[in-house]
Structure 1
Amino acid sequence: MKKAILKQGALALAVAFALGGCGESTSSSQGAGFNDSGSGEPTSPTEPTSFDEAALVASLVDNVITPAFTLFHQQAQAQQSAIASYCELEKASVQSSSEQAQTAMLEAQDAWLDAMGAWQQVEMMQMGPLLTNNGELRNRIYSWPAISRCGIDQDVVYHQDGVINNDPERPYDISARTATRRGLFALQHVLFNEQYDHHCSVANDALADWNSRTVLARKVARCEYAVTAAMDVHNSSAELLEKWQGDNGFAAELKSAGQSGSQFESAHSALNHISDAMFYLTEVVKDKKLAEPIGILPNSCGTSACPQDVESLDAKSSLANIKANLLAFEALVVGQRQGEPALVGFDDYLDDEQASATKERMLQGISDTKAVIAAIESDLATALLDNEEQVREVHTQVKAITDELKNDFINELALELPTTSAGDND
């Protein structure tokens, strides 16, 4: 990581790196609301700092956040192509999936895993357009923890019929559907879930004959829906990129902080908006992805380990999601994405504020967490059944990082906590 301390006047150096309704119950919280903190409001350091905060904002925007959003857009496009190719082969199958269709399905699943891995890094960077309208765009792409398997099953049939629940006055349009019936979670369900019967406690008219259809017929209906859903995700990824880096995009808004017309009164307030996003590690990774399935917090099983509550149960990629979250968090701390040259990060700011010890504890915590995750040889749901203590150790290590984040990191840099974390003293 970069050791040199940047002072005022270094902004030009950093900018030079710039890149040009179902009746079934659903979970009760949307992921996007975790950092609704109003940190667009100006904040000020308790004491003036000589560190070039504008250079740090520009470096994080250009070298960490924008590349993450761009990568997701690229992976969403690849996912769309792979799913379309798979579905053509599935539709050409007779009686059961052909060998070619089965191979193409595995390739479509791999494309989903790649898209999800890229998205999980974006999850750690929820700011600007991903927060607007209570996270509407974010939720369209990925609604978890709000999910409805029944709703997805219904929409598979509605999509195939072209109308909603046999009503000719209600043509099907995925862009008008609620977040829990589209996006990456819905794609996981139709690509990975091997329970082909519907997941509704009561079937409506459209689903009445679903369970009696052949497996191949249901696979075809699912894949046809997946083609449309993947296109929808790709369109949303393009919308995110445009709202982020377009002529009036939020990236420019962050980098113009302190200038006339900017919503951010100072570079410090823009930096606080970025640091708010990092609290996803606390509110979502530590609590929802780990503490709830473990049973530290209440879950679907009460207060005992609950494998069905892990994030990506069907794809068995819950631990991979957490790894991607951690990589994104680390990239924001050190100012560089994995495998890229060292640039300007929060670590440099901490050094400048004589808080190198805080920096070292955070980096050590990240390293320790990676190690305990790597020691788990199964998927997260299986680990909860076979070796719950290993999963609890991951939670312990993540909590060590978030304790530093909520206390010394915030205090040393005179930043403000998101409102959702202000009273969290666990």
Structure 2
Amino acid sequence: MTKNNTLFPFILITSLFFLWGFAHNLDPILIPHLKKSFTLTTVQATLVDSAVFIAYFLMALPAGFIMKKYGYKAGIITGLLVFALGSYLFIPAANTQQYTFFLVALFIIACGLTILETAANPYASSLGNPATSTQRLNFAQSFNGLATTLAPIIGARIILTKGYTEIQLNRMTEEGRKLALAAEASSVKMPYFILGSVLLFIAILFAFTRLPRIKQHEGHAASKNIFHALKHRHLAWGVAAQFFYVGAQVCVFSLFILYATKSAGITELKAADYLGLCGFAFLAGRFIGTFLMRYYSSALLLAVYAGVSALLCIIAVLGHGMITIYTVIGICFFMSIMFPTIFALGIKDLKADTEFGSSLIIMSIVGGAVLPRAFGYISDITGNIQYGYLVPMVCFAVVAYFGLKGHHVKVKPENIPVSAIL
């Protein structure tokens, strides 16, 4: 494949990283918005993340089968259409004013995102020189970081600013308060309608674009089932590392507004602006990390970044005031390279096991459904949301181990003689 043949397809693929990043980073705005609208506890509000990330666990294998049977292009178009459907479902969800309906819409969006990520991550990694696959994937993921910067700032001004103040709510009757809070949910209709329409346009564009075909590697028997791929030990460690990393990332981003309003005593809108700054730090860290990979191994950078993030979590637990905000911004900078680096190292040298390996790593994103719940439970039980940062601290320690040792390519022998065991 020449650069001329791959440039435009790579641009299109990169646009997908921005789109799903934008969708994901509207969730931190939805959490405080829906928490207020439906009078939820922190644990109940984290069902937003659960609805999203459970979809990754359930849909990753079907997504891998789609890619194996119909190819990456079909997978991408399917993912975009499902993504668009979920976005449009926000309109009836707001009209019915039911929290469960919002969770269903988010689940369908996430099903589309799962298919997209299962296709786009390995496709971007394979679209060029294998020696630069990790750098290429980090570059594409940088536009995910751009979305992380823009989505909270834009979303907060569309969604969070169109509500009632506490003074206004306190003057209402109980029934009037419930109706007023539920009515706030309607502010999500326009942004998600626009998002769905953009996705339909991108799907049509992909349908009429010729994408280079990624050839299967020779010399490796194709997997008949997903367990065949797990004989690669570095893939197994990659799955574990991604589970904990995504859990940590969701804890940091999705619960940032709730965290910042308590730890630093700032307003939700101000917290949303700082969340945008977290996104900028994430974006800067991705570009700087991609540059540093020219001189240092991606595994070493991953270990160092994860180790620093774990140490910063201690400050996030013990600090007070604005230092906690700056600490979390620092965490966002250092966790920036983790997802694409874990992904690229995890699927390295899988050959014909790549599709199933990709599916397994995407399945591990379910960590984003599980670990924020642990964060929420710790916060609710202790009455201090800062203690929740003990969860991402442990997560980053696991990622650091993967960067140090777990990433080494090892394959379990499929048939071990009994004599060797004895």
The TM-score, its normalising length taken from structure 1, stands at 0.35
Larger Rg: 1
Select the structure that is richer in helix: 2
The TM-score, its normalising length taken from structure 2, stands at 0.35
